[in-house]
Each structure stands twice: as structure tokens, then as C-alpha cells.
Amino acid sequence: MTYTDDNISLKSGKHLTYAERNKIEAYLEQNLSYREIGRRLGHHHSTISKEVKHGTVRQIKQRQIAPSGKVYEYKCEKYSAEAGQYRYDMA
């Protein structure tokens, strides 16, 4: 059995660059899958998945204070290339 779709050479053992992290952030905003991002960057989809996991930050999207004084915060998680690079640099 031959595979014709395996023409992309993966960057085995290579670290992601800051430019690649920025591309990941942009591709995620376009709702591309980890597999498609990996194909475009030449990395395995599990590398993309791990990077997104490590570079995801929690942001407060909306904060409301009820008349009773109780604070409601609506949070969302988003991948940040800067957070991913920072975590890589600190390792």
C-alpha cells in the first residue's frame, strides 16, 4: 500500500519559532484544525496541539457587577503566541 499524501517532510525534533507561533494564532482564528495547521507549518499535529495547550491563556471577556454587589466574570480561553513563546523561553 502506498500513500500519496505523505509528501510533506515534517520537521522532526525542531522547535517552533515565534513566527510559527504567530501563524498558529492566525490559523486558529480562521478555525483551522490542528492537522491542517501542522500540514501548513510542516509539524506533526500533536506538536500543534501541545503548543496550543501550553500557550492558551484565560481572559476575562466581560465583567458585570450585580446590584447586590456580586461580581460576575465571563472568561474565555485563547491561544497567545506571546504566551507560548514565554513559556518556551522559561523552560
Of 57, 60, 58, 61, the C-alpha closest to 82 is 57
Position 75 scores a pLDDT of: 87
Query: Could you report the per-residue pLDDT of 51-61, keeping only the tens digit for each?
Result: 999 999 988 88
Contact 85, 17 (CB under 8 A): no
Position 2 pLDDT exceeds 50: no
In this predicted model, what pLDDT tens digit does every residue of 10-45 receive, in sequence order?
666 689 999 999 999 999 999 999 999 999 999 999
Cell of 67: 446590584
The predicted pLDDT at position 13 comes to 63
pLDDT at residue 21, rounded to an integer: 97
Across the strands, what pairs with 57?
78
